[in-house]
């Protein structure tokens, strides 16, 4: 049976309140739909650790930088429900815009520091939109645990910080990036790639892996970065927005992997913005 779909925050609250009163733990998997194996790995982790699991599906207008990007974002609700069926989740929360942002909504949650770099610079306002909706989803679902992929590494750091700072009582659980066989990180945006662009897309990850190897062998950061960018350009990407080494916890900028570090990149391929990150060391 496909999971029950809840549209109203009051219904979600009632359900979560009932579960919590009977001592059950609630896990939430926040998504914008167009579910792929990456999302399903989060659901699998939540099912293992929580008595009740809610998957949220809401394409959040506040985190998009352009109306076209918001309009073009893939929406596949029926297919999503079908994919979730084998997992027997307790509810899919798929509210409309007014349930999340009712008339007169005037609050923005903003996390400073962690958002001053990477996607925070290239997508102004994006993380305010993410932080605001995630705060609402955590409070509406009353979740004990929330599952996020490392694929969106900066987002993971931001929501971890906000949940702790605002005492939301929701523990953020990081889960590894799931990749296609050719190394491309799974993302709902991959659906927007043409067949041709899809064959070029894994070069981003390959260039990053090569650069990470070079860094671990003591290579010079700028030389390796130039080589990686020309490999990505040759593959057909039109722009590398950033390719940076940062400390894994604070996202401080690094030149050498002298502590746990991440190599993070964003690049444009045939009109689609792809992001990826890998651990270095
Ligand atoms: O990662 C996503 O899909 C979104 O940013 C999230 C966390 C569901 C908030 O809209």
* pLDDT (mean) for 11-32: 98
CA separation (Å) from 267 to 228, 272, 277? Answer: 12, 8, 12
Residues 234 and 155 in one domain: no
In a domain, 200, yes or no: yes
Give the rounded percent of residues in the chain with a pLDDT score beyond 90.
Answer: 99
* Distance in Å, CA 13 to ligand 1 centroid: 20
Residues 192 and 166 in one domain: no
In a domain, 183, yes or no: no
* Cα–Cα distance for residue pair 198/157, rounded to 1 Å: 28
Q: Are the CB atoms for 90 and 52 separated by under 8 Å?
A: yes
Q: Which of 30, 27, 82 shows the shortest CA–CA distance to 60?
A: 30
In a domain, 149, yes or no: yes
Which residue, of 175, 206, 227, is where some domain finishes? 175
Q: At 169, list the tokens.
A: 């009582």
* Distance in Å, CA 32 to ligand 1 centroid: 6
Provide the number of structural domains found in the chain.
2
Residues 192 and 223 in one domain: yes
Please tell me the residue having the least CA distance from ligand 1 atom 1.
31
Please tell me the residue having the least CA distance from ligand 1 atom 3.
31
Residue 106 C-alpha from the chain's centroid? 25
In a domain, 181, yes or no: no
Q: Which atom of ligand 1 is nearest to the CA of 130?
A: 9
Residues 158 and 197 in one domain: no
In this structure, are strands 253-254 and 261-269 parallel, antiparallel, or unpaired? unpaired
Which residue, of 146, 175, 204, is where some domain finishes? 175
* Cα–Cα distance for residue pair 40/187, rounded to 1 Å: 12
For ligand 1, is residue 28 a contact (CB within 6 Å)?
no
pLDDT at residue 281, rounded to an integer: 85
Question: Per-residue b/e over 94-103, b at no fewer than 16 CB within 10 Å?
Answer: bbeeebbbee
Residues 109 and 193 in one domain: no
Handedness of CA 35, 60, 68, 115 (dihedral sign): negative
* Cα–Cα distance for residue pair 206/184, rounded to 1 Å: 9
Question: What is the reported pTM?
Answer: 0.97
Which residue, of 118, 146, 175, is where some domain finishes? 175
In a domain, 169, yes or no: yes
Place of tokens 């671990």: 216
Residues 127 and 207 in one domain: no
pLDDT digits (tens, 9 = 90+) for 194-221: 999 999 999 999 999 999 999 999 999 9
Residues 117 and 221 in one domain: no
Please tell me the residue having the least CA distance from ligand 1 atom 2.
31
pLDDT digits (tens, 9 = 90+) for 45-95: 999 999 999 999 999 999 999 999 999 999 999 999 999 999 999 999 999
The per-residue pLDDT of the chain, averaged, comes to 98
In a domain, 180, yes or no: no
Residues 147 and 222 in one domain: no
Q: Which of 271, 234, 264, 266 shows the shortest CA–CA distance to 248?
A: 264
Place of tokens 């892996």: 209
* Cα–Cα distance for residue pair 200/69, rounded to 1 Å: 22
CA separation (Å) from 231 to 145, 199, 210, 268? Answer: 40, 15, 10, 14
For ligand 1, is residue 30 a contact (CB within 6 Å)?
yes
Residues 146 and 242 in one domain: no
Q: Does residue 122 carry a catalytic annotation?
A: no
Residues 79 and 102 in one domain: yes
* CATH number of the domain that residue 87 is part of: 3.40.50.620
Give the rounded percent of residues in the chain with a pLDDT score beyond 70.
Answer: 100
pLDDT at residue 1, rounded to an integer: 87
* CATH number of the domain that residue 230 is part of: 3.30.1300.10
* Distance in Å, CA 98 to ligand 1 centroid: 18
For ligand 1, pick from 93, 129, 130 the residue to mutate: most ligand atoms within 8 Å of CB. 130
* Cα–Cα distance for residue pair 10/187, rounded to 1 Å: 31
Residues 14 and 108 in one domain: yes
* Residue of 36, 39, 122, 126 marked active site: 39
Question: Which range marks the domain in which residue 65 is found?
Answer: 5-175
Residues 219 and 270 in one domain: yes
């Amino acid at each position: 049976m496909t999971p029950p779909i809840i549209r109203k925050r009051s219904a979600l609250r009632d359900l979560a309140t009932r579960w919590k009163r009977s001592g059950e733990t609630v896990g939430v998997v926040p998504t914008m739909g167009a579910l792929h194996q990456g999302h399903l790995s989060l659901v699998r982790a939540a099912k293992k650790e929580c008595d009740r699991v809610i998957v949220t599906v809401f394409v959040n207008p506040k985190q998009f930088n352009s109306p076209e990007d918001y309009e073009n974002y893939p929406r596949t609700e029926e297919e999503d429900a079908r994919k979730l069926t084998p997992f027997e989740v307790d509810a899919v929360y798929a509210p409309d815009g007014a349930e999340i942002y009712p008339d007169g909504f005037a609050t923005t949650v903003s996390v400073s520091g962690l958002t001053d770099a990477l996607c925070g610079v290239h997508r102004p306002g994006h993380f305010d939109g993410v932080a605001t909706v995630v705060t609402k989803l955590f409070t509406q679902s009353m979740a004990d645990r929330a599952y996020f992929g490392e694929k969106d590494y900066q987002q993971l750091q931001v929501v971890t910080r906000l949940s702790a700072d605002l005492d939301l009582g929701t523990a953020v659980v990081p889960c590894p990036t799931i990749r296609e066989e050719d190394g491309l990180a799974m993302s709902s945006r991959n659906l927007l790639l043409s067949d041709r662009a899809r064959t070029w897309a894994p070069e981003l990850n390959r260039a990053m892996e090569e650069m990470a190897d070079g860094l671990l062998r003591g290579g010079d950061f700028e030389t390796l970065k130039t080589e990686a960018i020309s490999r990505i350009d040759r593959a057909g990407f039109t722009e590398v927005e950033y390719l940076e080494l940062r400390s894994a916890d604070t996202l401080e900028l690094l030149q050498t992997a002298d502590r746990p570090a991440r190599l993070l990149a964003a690049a444009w391929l045939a009109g689609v913005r792809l992001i990826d990150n890998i651990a270095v060391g």
